[in-house]
Amino acid sequence: MAPLKLNSQNLSRILSAARGQIKIPTYQRGGAVKEGIVHIGVGGFHRAHLAVYVDKLMQNHGVKDYAICGVGLQPFDTHMRDALSSQDHLYTVIERSGKGSFANVVGSINSFLFAPDNREAVIAKMAHPDTRIVSLTITESGYYYNENTHELQSEHPDIQFDLNPVNETAPRTTFGFLYAALARRRQQGLKPFTVMSCDNMQKNGSITRHMLESFARLRNPELANWISEQGAFPNAMVDRITPQTSAVDKRTLADNFGIVDAWPVVTEPFMQWVIEDQFSDGRPPFEKVGAQLVKNVHDVEQFEKHKLRLLNGSHSALGYPGQLAGFKYVHEAMENPLYRKFVWQMMQEEVKPLLPDIPGVDIDEYCNTLIERFSNPTIMDQLPRICLNASGKIPQFIMPSIAEAIWVTGPFRRLCFVAAAWFHYINGVDDAGRPFDVDDPMREVLQAKARAGGTDPAELLSIKSLFGDDLRGDQRFLSEIKRAMEDISRDGVMKTLPKYVDCH
Ligand code: CS2
């Protein structure tokens, strides 16, 4: 039988003609369920993570009050809107590992609003009594957070626009929408919804709270107080490696599973979510589907720290040097024995000693699992994806480990090598002289500084919003990173790498 277009009507035919291991939603959708979650930023990660947890709740636990209404704020979100609306908001999560592939058709996204079409509709949706949670995957830049001052970038033109009362019904930023909807809820005597960040940032919930309260305080201090007293902003550690979907992924889904999906998601079998149990207006029983609900914010922070420093830090170690060396995928770099050793030694010798013990977590086992996950050749995780938006990543994933290692006089040479590789990467030319795209919201300023500095890191390190002041005065750090920059620019990554790997 010819592959079938994914939509509600075709679901049972897709199942009966199934060519591989497949699951379809058998729960009610549309008007039969309430949309308790409004999610801003429907990309691959949301669709492989939160939406899958909710799908399991709907499929196996009869949950009917927490279907998701997706929201897109950015012009590029039209693609997601069109893909989802062409297939009744269903989509396929393709899980791949050495053990094979599994296609999970997910139905937890019930509708989608594209904000630029109708901003008022988004505010009304968030203010609706059925909405209990507004969740976010808006990436680091969506928070307008200054890493140096830890304050809201209140002078940013987007924030200035949203702070102007005349724009209250047509905001641009996430905070503008949250503010307008919360003001309306308060007026209607409703509780504030929980704002649940699912972004990959240390203290994601606390940052969201601080940014929104700061925004609200500039508009209406009374509302800010109400949010501060009654709002909830759980911190969370989120984890699932989710590469960008390729045209080949769509073709193999049609060939191997008989499903024509405008935008499937490819991911690994592993998923993890540790979330602080702080909700202002109820929550679904996430613990029934594998999420770890934690009472103590400190515990969540420990999990976040492990994940950001080990998983994401190692990803950075694979990404920037890897792309300079000409690798295309994470697993390719991992297949190189020297590179694999480098990643292992960075985790074990430089990062692990800085991490807190978490009861029940064996760090060595965690590192071993990471090596296995990074080596999964079936998901084809692209290095350019890992390298995207580095200015929001390196200051979180690598620099804090360097700063702490200096503080405790621990080793940090390999971490410096990664930072140096990023600095070199900013020039947009690999070790073989091939140009590549540097996709970063701060690209222009970064490239100007990189050009001005050459192999001297001082220019780049002068960007205070990224690096603060702490490291710039440390001579050990400066000479370490300078040496690595010189080596990489003279000899390239692969010739420099042996200096950073102990071959015992
Ligand atoms: C990656 C993450 O973009 C990156 O830097 O490290 O997207 C990573 O795949 C996820 O955090 C895994 O949970």
322-361 per-position pLDDT tens digit: 999 999 999 999 999 999 999 999 999 999 999 999 999 9
Evaluate: CB of 137 within 6 angstroms of ligand 1: no
d(CA 422, CA 402): 15
Q: Which atom of ligand 1 is nearest to the CA of 397?
A: 5
Q: Which atom of ligand 1 is nearest to the CA of 272?
A: 13
User: What is each CA distance from 442 to 17, 153, 390, 480, in whole angstroms?
Assistant: 49, 14, 9, 25
The pLDDT value recorded for residue 472 is 82
The pLDDT value recorded for residue 156 is 96
> Whose Cα sits closest to atom 9 in ligand 1?
241
> Whose Cα sits closest to atom 10 in ligand 1?
241
In sequence order, what are the residues at sequence separation of 6 or more whose Cβ sits closer than 8 angstroms to the Cβ of residue 189? none
How many alpha carbons fall within 13 Å on the CB side of residue 372? 12
Mutate to test the pocket of ligand 1, among 198, 200, 306 (most ligand atoms within 8 A of CB): 200
3-state secondary structure of 11: helix
Q: Which atom of ligand 1 is nearest to the CA of 238?
A: 13
d(CA 112, CA 68): 9
> Whose Cα sits closest to atom 8 in ligand 1?
241
Evaluate: CB of 393 within 6 angstroms of ligand 1: yes
- Low-confidence residues in the chain, pLDDT < 50: none
In angstroms, what is the C-alpha Rg of the chain? 23
Evaluate: CB of 268 within 6 angstroms of ligand 1: no
- Determine which helix (DSSP H) or strand (DSSP E) holds 85, and give its type and residue range: helix 78-85
Distance 186 CA to ligand 1 centre (A): 36
Evaluate: CB of 239 within 6 angstroms of ligand 1: yes
Distance 73 CA to ligand 1 centre (A): 22
Instruction: Of 141, 130, 161, 49, give the one whose Cα is nearest residue 389.
Output: 141
In sequence order, what are the residues at sequence separation of 6 or more whose Cβ sits closer than 8 angstroms to the Cβ of residue 129? 188, 190
Evaluate: CB of 49 within 6 angstroms of ligand 1: no
The pLDDT value recorded for residue 100 is 94
Q: Are 293 and 237 in contact (CB under 8 A)?
A: no
Distance 107 CA to ligand 1 centre (A): 24
The pLDDT value recorded for residue 1 is 80
d(CA 339, CA 323): 12
Distance 311 CA to ligand 1 centre (A): 8
Q: Which atom of ligand 1 is nearest to the CA of 311?
A: 6
Evaluate: CB of 424 within 6 angstroms of ligand 1: no
The pLDDT value recorded for residue 192 is 98
Question: Tokens 């084809």 identify what position?
Answer: 380
Evaluate: CB of 309 within 6 angstroms of ligand 1: no
The pLDDT value recorded for residue 171 is 98
Evaluate: CB of 449 within 6 angstroms of ligand 1: no
The pLDDT value recorded for residue 468 is 82
Evaluate: CB of 312 within 6 angstroms of ligand 1: yes
Q: Are 97 and 378 in contact (CB under 8 A)?
A: yes
> Whose Cα sits closest to atom 5 in ligand 1?
386
